[in-house]
Amino acid sequence: MAADTSQLVADVITEILENLSVRDLLSALLVNREWCQVAVPMYWKAPFSYKYKRSMTALKIYELFLERGSSTLIGTTENSARGTTIQETPMLYDYPLFLKELNYTNLLALKGIDGKVNAILQMLINRGIRLNTFIMDNTGSKSERHYEIWTTPRYASIFSSLIRVEIRTPFPKNHVIKTLAKNCTMLSYLDINLHDNSIDRVKKTLNYLEEFISVQRCPLNLRLVFPNGPGKMLIKTLQSQFESLKRLELVKWNFSECDDWGWLKKCPNLTEFAITSSLQTRVSAILDVKYETYHSKSSNNSRLTTAHWHFDKDGETSSMPNFYFHSGKSSMVQYYDIDDFQYDYHYLEARTRKSRRKN
C-alpha cells in the first residue's frame, strides 16, 4: 500500500511539474525530496533543447561524466604548489541517464564540442540510453561530416526507440532515411526535409522511405518537405503504404503530373492531409471535402500556405480545427538570463542536496 501511495504522489507531482517553465522547475527542486526526485529527471530529459547558456552548462556536466567514465564521483583536483588535494565528491544523480530528447544541432553548436561527440554518444551507449526524440534544425557552421556521426551503426541502439524525429535541413549524403529504416520501428512522428540534387539518391531515398513506413508499428504522422521534389514518385511510394498514414503533410513537392488523389479515400487511418500547391480545388472535388488554409512563416522573408483536409473515421469532415504539424509549440525552452536566475552545475547540486535533506 505504501508503494502504491508513493507512486500516486509521484504521478500527481509529475502532472503539476509538466506545466512549469524551466525556471519554476528548478525552483521545484527545493520543495522536498519527492519533488526533487521528479523534477531532476524532467529537467535533464532534454538538456540540449534549452537556449545556448543552459545547454552549455549541460555539456560541462556531461564532460565531468566523460572524465570519470561510469563513475558519478567528481571534483578531484590537485594543487602541486600548495600540496593540497580536493577529494572526489559524488554527484547525486547520473544525469545522462535521464536523456530522452537530443537536439543534435544545439549540441554541435556548443563551444568546445569538437572531438567530443563520439565520446558522448559512446557514453550514452554504455548507459543503455534509448532516446524518444531526435532533432536536427539546421547545419549551422559545422561541416556535414559532423552531422553524420549519429548515423554510425555502432550508435544504432540509442535511436532504436525513437518516437519523434524532426530533421528540417536536408542531409542527402548521410542516408538519414536509411538509418531510420534500419533502426527505428516505433516512430509516430516524422518531419523531414528530403531535398537532394541527385536523382539517383532521390530514388534510393524514396525506396528507403517506403521501407521505413512499412516497418513502423503504428500509424504515422508524416511531414515531408522537398522543394520541387518529384511528386509523382512520392505518391507512388505513399500509395504502397496507405494503411500506415495517420496525418500527412507534403510541402513544396511538384504535383503538376499528379491527377489521381482518390487513393487518399482508401487510407483507413488518415485524419488529416495537407499540401502546398495550387491543386486545392481539384483535390477537394475528388475527396468531396472542403479544405482549410493555414499560413505559416517558413523563413524571415517568406510565408508558407498549406491547404488542409480533415477527416474522421467515416471519411467525413473532422470537427477538429487544429493543424497537427503547426501547433505553435516550440521544443525550445525559454532561457532566463544568468543574472536573473543564477545557475551552474555546482548551484544545481547544492539545491538538489538541500531538497533531499527535507522530508
Q: Residue 100 domain-assigned? A: no
Residue matched to cell numbers 504521478: 11
Instruction: Look up the domain containing 37 and give its range.
Output: 1-43
Q: Is residue 311 part of a domain?
A: no
> Is residue 16 assigned to a domain?
yes
Residue 20 lies in a domain: yes
Residue 12 lies in a domain: yes
Interatomic CA distance for residues 177 and 41, integer angstroms = 30
User: So what's the pLDDT on residue 313?
Assistant: 57
Whether 7 is covered by a domain: the verdict is yes
| CA 198/CA 124 separation, integer angstroms | 34
- Asked if residue 22 is part of any domain, the answer here is yes
Query: What does DSSP assign to residue 316?
Result: S
Place of cell 578531484: 76
Report d(CA 231, CA 121) in Å as an integer.
36
Q: Would residue 25 count as lying in a domain?
A: yes
Per residue of the chain (359 residues), give pLDDT as tens: 445 556 656 777 777 777 777 777 777 777 777 778 788 888 899 999 988 888 999 999 999 999 876 555 444 444 444 444 434 556 778 999 999 999 999 999 999 898 899 999 999 999 999 999 999 987 655 566 778 889 999 999 999 999 999 998 887 766 789 999 999 999 999 999 999 888 999 999 999 999 999 999 999 999 999 999 999 999 999 999 999 999 999 999 999 988 889 999 999 999 999 999 888 889 999 988 899 998 887 666 678 889 999 987 554 444 445 688 886 544 433 333 333 333 444 445 554 555 555 55
Closest CA to 61 of 17, 98, 101, 104: 98
- Number of domains forming the structure of the chain: 1
